[in-house]
Structure 1
Amino acid sequence: MIIPLFVALALAVAAPVVGQGVPKIAPAVIDNNLEVVGDPLAADQVKTRMFIAVDVNGHGPYRFLVDSGADRSVVGVGLAEQLALPEGRAVKLQGMAGSARVATVRIDALRLGASTIANIAAPALPERYLGAQGIVGIDALVDQRLLLDFDKKTIIVQDARRPEPVSGGDEIVVVAHRRNGQLILTAASVAGFPIYAVIDTGSEVTMGNLALQARVFGTRRPPPSRPVVLTSVTGQTLTANLATLPSIKIGGLDLAGVNVAFADAPPFRLFGLEKSPALLIGTDVLEVFRRVALDFRGRRVRFTLRRGG
């Protein structure tokens, strides 16, 4: 049985890095000095993905998906036409299931809470594939701290240049590495094997590459799995094999029996991770935590444990 699933995208215009080797996994760095404060924005959840209300060029609010796996912010074609956003040059867009050449539009000001991001060249895609009126990507988050609260269903966006207060509690803070704009975690492992992990808030499905599948299950005997069809916001589809990993460890917390869709997805090549065991961690795993905070400027990710967890 083929099960259709929706996946947003790891979205970029740049081509994959060629001839640049992946460095050895460095020891994880734990940092307990990160806090996110600011005005909470009401967030809706379709299953587990998080949406916020944003203003575009002073109009709105509009419902945008927050996607930490997307290099570029995206606007829906219908919204772009409604606001008469000026067209830009066409770009080659790399999505979860493949690449496509799409038109861009210019956004003068994208407002998220108290933060405003200026001069964004946003690809325009049909709303039926986005599941929203647009996507907030890393180009709008690079100088921000982003807090996703899965209990309260709120998102807080704060200028990361503001001082961050020290906080305590049941929290694990991991220092990440930046690659192609993404926060790459090394404080992660699967079945005892160190891996790379990318936080992808735009996907409801956690994905693993074929290098991870071979490392955990071996190459001769594939794991028990079932096919799933993943649909990217570009409208393209990718067939993956859904299997259960025995355990995933993130920053010291063990998660058992995690379902992962394995495929040779283009984002792994884009991030230079196709030959190293790696995961794109979706909101199906992130919702295990009470809160997840991403500091793109400070290159840190905070995981807040659920009480009693």
Structure 2
Amino acid sequence: MFTRRTIAAGLGLSLAARPALADATTLVPPSQVPASQVPLQAASGGATADQPLLVLDASLDEDARMTVPVMINGQGPFEFAVDTGADRSVLTPGLVERLALPPGPEIIVHGVSGSVTSSTVRVAALRTGDARLSDVVLPVLPYERVGGDGLLGVDILDGRDVVMDFVKKQLEVRRSQPMRDMVRAAREISILADQKFGRLTLADSRIAGARSLAFIDSGGGVSIGNMALARAIAARRRRSPDQARPARLLTAGGEMQLGEFRIVPSIVLGDLRITNIPMAFADLHIFDVWALNNRPAALLGVDVLRLFARVELDFGAGRVLFRLGQAGGLTPPAWNA
């Protein structure tokens, strides 16, 4: 089992961040990988064929998962995670059975790595704080895909401020703070964000120097770029080493996705600059759904968010606020203010 720090050392690069991929990476000898499953770059010289295949667990581990109390039809509270990469809020079968919720129609649910046909239930009222959904039909997914009683998706986050405090290990969903920038602390950096596909998108972003769309994905344990971004990075580093490794991604649903892995030298988000970030690359199903396979794009997961003491995702004000500091012994990232 390789930690993120071990991988970085093997690639000949320094690492300024906590090993957020610890216990999430394994090596598969090339003799165990069918030729049809070797990524294209491995066959074309971008990564040598004798390199072991990295297997990255892109799901969110229990240590990184924070939850908020949720009331359903006046009962609870139940513990839900907030997943800004999910279109819909989701329940688990055990909770559905406990509450005896009436069934709804089957629907197709699109996830990061694929789509599934899901049963649904009808919910009269779902509430956390002052955020509320009324008379909705919600998908039901297995516990292993959710990791708690349920997930809160972007359907309940419109006009809300999601506060992720990694020092206190607390998660809060509250009303938007449109005047928050006027009283911003000295160690806070505010970045404007648009909403695309219902998600907060940091449009003014560059990953390894390549202009890219960057989506905040609080439900993903590993940051993932599409292959259009991988090609853009490789093109910019044509005259310098670009040590990509063939990889497969294991998601919360258990699906395996072919791609590659590299240490990204810098991610620039507005006035914020983070250095030496491990990132996976693959043409995920969700990029196809969003018609973004030909445009550089990335999902920034909890591995990046946890580099900060606190992160606020304000859907109402259209901004993301990063508070610098040490969360869990992290080395502070490089930054410009």
TM-score (ref. length: structure 1): 0.80
* Matched position secondary structure for 1:125: coil
User: CA contact under 8 A between 1:230 and 1:239: conserved in structure 2?
Assistant: no
**Structure 1 residue 6: deviation in Å?**
4.1
Distance 1:163 1:98 in 2: 36
* Matched position secondary structure for 1:70: coil
User: CA contact under 8 A between 1:103 and 1:124: conserved in structure 2?
Assistant: yes
Distance 1:70 1:229 in 2: 18
Distance 2:171 2:145 in 1: 23
1:197 maps to a residue whose letter is A
User: CA contact under 8 A between 1:95 and 1:232: conserved in structure 2?
Assistant: no
1:96 maps to a residue whose letter is V
Equivalent residue for 2:44?
Answer: none
Equivalent residue for 1:207?
Answer: 224
Distance 2:204 2:310 in 1: 18
Equivalent residue for 1:129?
Answer: 145
1:269-280 map, 5 Å: 269-280=288-299
Equivalent residue for 1:190?
Answer: 207
User: CA contact under 8 A between 2:84 and 2:216: conserved in structure 1?
Assistant: yes
2:277 maps to a residue whose letter is V
Distance 2:258 2:141 in 1: 22
Equivalent residue for 1:37?
Answer: none
Equivalent residue for 2:57?
Answer: 5
User: CA contact under 8 A between 1:97 and 1:230: conserved in structure 2?
Assistant: no
* Matched position secondary structure for 2:94: helix
**In the superposition, relative to structure 1, how do residues 277 and 137 fare at CA in structure 2: closer, same or farther (>3 Å)?**
same
Structure 1 runs (4+) greater than 6 angstroms displaced: 219-222
2:167 maps to a residue whose letter is D
Distance 2:134 2:159 in 1: 12
1:87 aligns with 2:106: no
Distance 2:313 2:154 in 1: 11
**Structure 1 residue 250: deviation in Å?**
1.9
**In the superposition, relative to structure 1, how do residues 151 and 226 fare at CA in structure 2: closer, same or farther (>3 Å)?**
farther
**In the superposition, relative to structure 1, how do residues 164 and 56 fare at CA in structure 2: closer, same or farther (>3 Å)?**
farther
* Matched position secondary structure for 2:283: coil
Equivalent residue for 2:259?
Answer: 240
**Structure 1 residue 205: deviation in Å?**
0.6
Equivalent residue for 1:223?
Answer: 243
Partner residue of 2:194 out of 144, 162, 177? 177
Distance 1:262 1:4 in 2: 11
Which consecutive residues of structure 2, in runs of 5 or more, have no partner in the other structure? 1-26, 29-54, 327-331
**Structure 1 residue 163: deviation in Å?**
6.0
Q: Which moved more, 1:57-66 or 1:278-287?
A: 57-66
* The structure with more helix, counted as a fraction of residues: 2
Equivalent residue for 1:288?
Answer: 307
TM-score (ref. length: structure 2): 0.74
Aligned length: 271
**In the superposition, relative to structure 1, how do residues 6 and 215 fare at CA in structure 2: closer, same or farther (>3 Å)?**
closer
User: CA contact under 8 A between 2:210 and 2:229: conserved in structure 1?
Assistant: no
Q: Which moved more, 1:278-287 or 1:242-251?
A: 242-251
* Matched position secondary structure for 2:66: strand
* Matched position secondary structure for 2:101: coil
**In the superposition, relative to structure 1, how do residues 273 and 63 fare at CA in structure 2: closer, same or farther (>3 Å)?**
same
Percent of residue pairs identical: 36
Equivalent residue for 1:17?
Answer: none
Who wins on radius of gyration, i.e. which is larger? 2
**Structure 1 residue 223: deviation in Å?**
3.5
Distance 1:62 1:240 in 2: 36
1:54 aligns with 2:73: no
User: CA contact under 8 A between 1:50 and 1:202: conserved in structure 2?
Assistant: no
1:306 aligns with 2:306: no
Distance 2:287 2:304 in 1: 19
Q: Which moved more, 1:112-121 or 1:279-288?
A: 112-121
Partner residue of 1:104 out of 98, 111, 120? 120
* Matched position secondary structure for 2:145: helix
Distance 2:64 2:204 in 1: 23
1:7 maps to a residue whose letter is S
Q: Which moved more, 1:295-304 or 1:260-269?
A: 295-304
Distance 1:226 1:61 in 2: 43
Q: Which moved more, 1:115-124 or 1:299-308?
A: 299-308
**Structure 1 residue 134: deviation in Å?**
0.7
User: CA contact under 8 A between 2:223 and 2:298: conserved in structure 1?
Assistant: yes
Distance 1:172 1:271 in 2: 29
**Structure 1 residue 215: deviation in Å?**
0.6
**RMSD (CA atoms):** 2.3
User: CA contact under 8 A between 2:209 and 2:233: conserved in structure 1?
Assistant: no
